[in-house]
Amino acid sequence: MRHGKQGRKFGRKKGQRRSFTTGLIHNLIMSDRITTTEARAKEIKAKVEKLVTVAKKNDLAALRLLERRLPKVSAYRLYHEIAPRYKTRRGGYVRIKKTALRRQRDNAPQAIIEFI
């Protein structure tokens, strides 16, 4: 039974999986919109929203926390450009749009994840 086991494995070990999701989050922050599989989009959505919530605090501790969790370029962009857009919004910063396209090699359903 999988009680208490949360998250997707993506066929990777823990460190590889952490780097993989960090890379996806970095790409999303830098381009505001990426196309990926539905499973990947669902996995990073909650993590991105928590990072935006941290960035909205707009203090030095929040910036340092972002720098620990993200590459420096994306941490600064999230803190200085993206978070101020959502100052009055209480949540729901990211949207997932499912597409009709499927990845050719394994027929995985595709989705677009973007900031609102």
Instruction: Give the CATH number, domain containing residue 72.
Output: 3.90.1030.10
Instruction: For the chain, give the mean pLDDT.
Output: 95
Residue 65 belongs to some domain of the structure: yes
What is the enclosing helix (H) or strand (E) of 57?
A: none
Q: Is 73 exposed, middle or buried (0-12, 13-18, 19+ CB in 10 A)?
A: exposed
Is pTM beyond 0.85? Reply is yes
Residue 37 belongs to some domain of the structure: no
Tell me the per-residue pLDDT of 87-108, one tens digit each, with 9 for 90 and over: 999 999 999 999 999 999 999 9
The first and second tokens of residue 80, run together, are: 């200085």
Residue 113 belongs to some domain of the structure: yes
Residue 70 belongs to some domain of the structure: yes
What is the enclosing helix (H) or strand (E) of 114?
A: strand 109-115
- 109-115 sheet: strands from edge to edge: 33-37, 109-115, 94-102
Range of the domain at 104: 47-116
Say which residue, 6 or 25, is predicted with more confidence: 25
Residue 42 belongs to some domain of the structure: no
Residue 33 belongs to some domain of the structure: no
The first and second tokens of residue 38, run together, are: 């539905």
> Number of structural domains, the chain?
1
Distance CA 66, CA 11 (A): 27
